[in-house]
Structure 1
Amino acid sequence: MTESQSVFFAEMALDLHAEPTTERTVDRIVAYAKIATNCDEAGIMLVHARNRIETAAATAKCVGDSHNLQIRHDEGPCLDALDNPGSIIANNTATDSRWPKWGPAVAELGIRSALCVGLETHDRRYGSLNLYSNTVNAFVADDLAVAEIFARHASVAFSAAHNEEGLQLAVDARKLIGQAQGILMERFNIDADRAFAVLRRFSQQHNVKLRDVAEQVVESRRLPSSSSARSEMAL
């Protein structure tokens, strides 16, 4: 890696870590990817619970279309990068026999080469960083090396933003539940443990998240319905 590349990655890492949310982080990652690598467009696919896959960021509409074609046909380099360790290169999408449905379809969009790298840490695989080019054989060994280094930096930044966002949501939920407990304690003259038990029981019996129950209590100053409140307090 050259000195200028080292400076670029150092500045990029600082910028990515400064972003406050995962949404802002992924948008910045794809913007930096176009600068760092020999690609025309870039995007990120993320895997959520129960294998739900979505396009989290894209520098152009064709990127999202490429991702959607892979999901529709259940084949493509990005999906392969999600399922397997290592990176995937498509030198000519129109003729690559590995993806007979996705390849010709995405070539019609103008995408002729692809380079897909996993976004992952030691603890978790988040998705894939996907680089696209409008020319055949666009990516060479140097591009792959740069993309993999870039993806490691991006993975750490995304993980940090994801964890920080999750922690903030957890803190907010605890505050909300505490406020709801205080309201029930005052209204029904019960202690904190009993108030929490009422919230949890209502959550379980009505299949509503505890945080959502607490939010309703805080907003309405009571459980979601008077009849429910009476039945909960009778238990």
Structure 2
Amino acid sequence: MASTQERDEREHVTEDTSTRIGDDLARTLEQAARDLLERGEEEGVEHTLALVVRGAIQTVPHVEQAGISLVEEGRRVEAHVPSDDVVRRIDELQNELGEGPCLDSIWYEQRTVIDDMSEAEHRWPRYAKAAQDLGIGSLMSFQLFAQRGSAGALNLYASRPHVFDESTTDAGRLFAAQAALVLHGAQRIQGLHTALESRDVIGQAKGILMERFGVGQAQAFSMLVESSQNTNMKLVKVAEWLTGEAEKKGRSGNR
């Protein structure tokens, strides 16, 4: 049995490792925040996802590849900013086979850790074999968020089995928690931009109708709503069509 001194030494090493990982994580997230501020909001969600993936590879010990899986329409999982083609292929396989750790993390579990892919065949028989053929020895998958209409996972991979211990799992979990907050913020910003753009184009369309038919704002908006209902098109699409037609006529009149 290990002596008290040996146990204390191991615990001290673990604490030192956790502290170092925490410091690395803090620096990585601070750099990501600076990059976002310097580049501006036009980079959008994809740029934020790329920062998360790169930071995870740099920060979490033994992680060689990483990617983010996000659920698109029809519950299809899409690979975003994968570190290489293997990660992209892994997400494609899970869609094709309907099984895999990333899917489980997204829909059922907060995290999935596979220490040895060769021992996961009883859980995902087809996926586990395919992942091994692609050179995956172990993996960690952490749920980023799961809410109505939106879900995702941060997926971390290593070529060798038995490399993800408790400290690396904790580091991955902490990174995923922070990454989820950053991603949520970026998505909200993108959503606000979309809403503002929609409001602007609807306002332009209202102005066109007001000028063309001599009506007020409320009547112009009612005309847009009625057109949307009659054509089964979204209101913003009707507005985009109307403003586009007005621009075409404007260009023709200037010739």
Q: Which one of 101, 124, 133 corresponds to residue 77 of structure 1?
A: 101
- 1:26 — aligned with what? 49
Name the CA distance, whole Å, in 1 between partners of 2:213 and 2:230.
Answer: 20
* Greater helix content: 2
CA positional deviation for 1:63 = 0.3
Deviations 1:61-115 (CA, angstroms, capped at 9, x unpaired): 0001111111111111111101123311112223312110100011111112111
Q: State the secondary structure of the residue aligned to 2:119.
A: coil
Q: Which one of 151, 164, 167 corresponds to residue 189 of structure 2?
A: 164
TM-score after normalising by structure 2: 0.81
- 1:61 — aligned with what? 85
Name the CA distance, whole Å, in 2 between partners of 1:122 and 1:69.
Answer: 24
- 1:226 — aligned with what? none
Does 2:36 match 1:12? no
Name the CA distance, whole Å, in 2 between partners of 1:24 and 1:68.
Answer: 22
Name the CA distance, whole Å, in 2 between partners of 1:47 and 1:200.
Answer: 31
Name the CA distance, whole Å, in 2 between partners of 1:151 and 1:9.
Answer: 11
Q: Which one of 156, 160, 165 corresponds to residue 135 of structure 1?
A: 160
- 1:153 — aligned with what? 178
Q: Which moved more, 1:42-51 or 1:2-11?
A: 2-11
Where structure 1 has 5 or more consecutive residues not aligned to the other structure, the ranges are 223-235
CA positional deviation for 1:135 = 0.8
CA positional deviation for 1:173 = 0.6
Question: Letter of the aligned partner of 1:13 in structure 2?
Answer: L
Name the CA distance, whole Å, in 2 between partners of 1:176 and 1:213.
Answer: 10
Name the CA distance, whole Å, in 2 between partners of 1:122 and 1:215.
Answer: 31
- 1:230 — aligned with what? none
Question: Letter of the aligned partner of 1:75 in structure 2?
Answer: E
Name the CA distance, whole Å, in 2 between partners of 1:53 and 1:44.
Answer: 10
Q: How many residues align?
A: 222
CA positional deviation for 1:123 = 8.9
Question: Letter of the aligned partner of 1:89 in structure 2?
Answer: V
Question: Letter of the aligned partner of 1:12 in structure 2?
Answer: T
- 2:205 — aligned with what? 180
Name the CA distance, whole Å, in 2 between partners of 1:57 and 1:89.
Answer: 21
Does 2:57 match 1:41? no
RMSD of equivalent CA atoms? 2.1
Where structure 2 has 5 or more consecutive residues not aligned to the other structure, the ranges are 1-14, 248-255
Q: Is the 8 A contact 1:121 1:156 kept in 2?
A: no
Instruction: Name the larger-Rg structure.
Output: 2
1:83-162 paired onto structure 2 within 5 Å:
83-96=107-120, 97-120=122-145, 126-162=151-187
Question: Letter of the aligned partner of 2:236 in structure 1?
Answer: R
Q: Is the 8 A contact 1:95 1:104 kept in 2?
A: no
Name the CA distance, whole Å, in 2 between partners of 1:213 and 1:23.
Answer: 28
Query: % of aligned pairs identical?
Result: 30
Q: Which one of 184, 198, 204 corresponds to residue 229 of structure 2?
A: 204
Q: Is the 8 A contact 2:29 2:55 kept in 1?
A: no
Q: Is the 8 A contact 2:77 2:91 kept in 1?
A: no
Cα 1:101–1:122, aligned 2, differ >3 Å: closer, same or farther?
Answer: closer
Question: Letter of the aligned partner of 1:28 in structure 2?
Answer: L
Question: Letter of the aligned partner of 2:159 in structure 1?
Answer: N
Name the CA distance, whole Å, in 2 between partners of 1:53 and 1:206.
Answer: 32
